[in-house]
Structure 1
Amino acid sequence: MSQGLPATGSVLQRSVSARGNQQQPQSPEDDDRKVRRREKNRVAAQRSRKKQTQKADKLHEEYECLEQENTSLRREIGKLTEELKHLSDVLKDHEKICPLLHCSMNFVPMARPDPITNCLPR
């Protein structure tokens, strides 16, 4: 044995092994208690496994829902990006011909609150 332990082992080891070697006849009450404890433990283990499975199923469902929502939002982003491009193009085309933007009043250097209303006919 290493680290200075006696060859016969520690007091704790001898105590445990001494108890393990002594076979005391079990009473029927002890047997019943052991059977009940094992049954209770088996039921608790089944409950725990079922709860774990339900939790995994719930997480999987949540994952599926989030994936669907993500796909839907990505589609919406695509549509909105297309709409933005279209509206930007329409605005650029309109700016070329807009009489309000080309009004000579807009080029007069004077302070005015709203340049658009100054170009409108009175």
Structure 2
Amino acid sequence: FGKDTDNLKTEQSPEDDDRKVRRREKNRVAAQRSRKKQTQKADKLHEEYECLEQENTSLRREIGKLTEELKHLSDVLKDHEKMCPLLHCSMNFVPVARPDPITNCLPR
């Protein structure tokens, strides 16, 4: 009696085979969809990375230009202070020492 029931369990009906084939096909399609979704997500992240890299490069260039402009304007101001009649007027009580603007404005 036991052997007969074992044979029944291992033998599959055509409906079981069809169900198995449909399940495998459904799983294959779901796996394809999942891989495609992962690829699209990776592509989107790569595009975002490229945009951020370009923006970063542009901002670094702008920082460089602004740093040069700050240095130039500070030099112009120092030259002006040397000969400014208002700064050398006897009405001024105490000359105020100002911190170097370049050192204070640069990122740390």
Same fold (TM over 0.5): yes
Structure 1: runs of 5 or more not aligned = 1-16
Question: Percent identity among equivalent residues?
Answer: 91
Given that 2:74 and 2:101 are in contact with CA atoms closer than 8 Å, whether structure 1 keeps it comes out as: no
Q: TM-score, normalised by structure 1?
A: 0.68
Runs of 4+ in 1 over 6 A off after TM superposition: 17-23, 108-122
Whole-Å separation in 1 of the counterparts to 2:60 and 2:107: 46
Whole-Å separation in 2 of the counterparts to 1:73 and 1:21: 74
Give 1:25 deviation, angstroms. 2.1
Give 1:20 deviation, angstroms. 8.8
Given that 1:103 and 1:119 are in contact with CA atoms closer than 8 Å, whether structure 2 keeps it comes out as: no
The 1:69–1:102 alpha-carbon spacing in structure 2 relative to 1, beyond 3 Å, is: same
Which of the two has higher C-alpha Rg?
1
Bigger shift: residues 21-30 or 103-112:
103-112
Structure 2: runs of 5 or more not aligned = none
Whole-Å separation in 1 of the counterparts to 2:46 and 2:106: 62
Given that 2:71 and 2:102 are in contact with CA atoms closer than 8 Å, whether structure 1 keeps it comes out as: no
Greater relative contact order (CA < 8 Å, ≥ 6 in sequence): 2
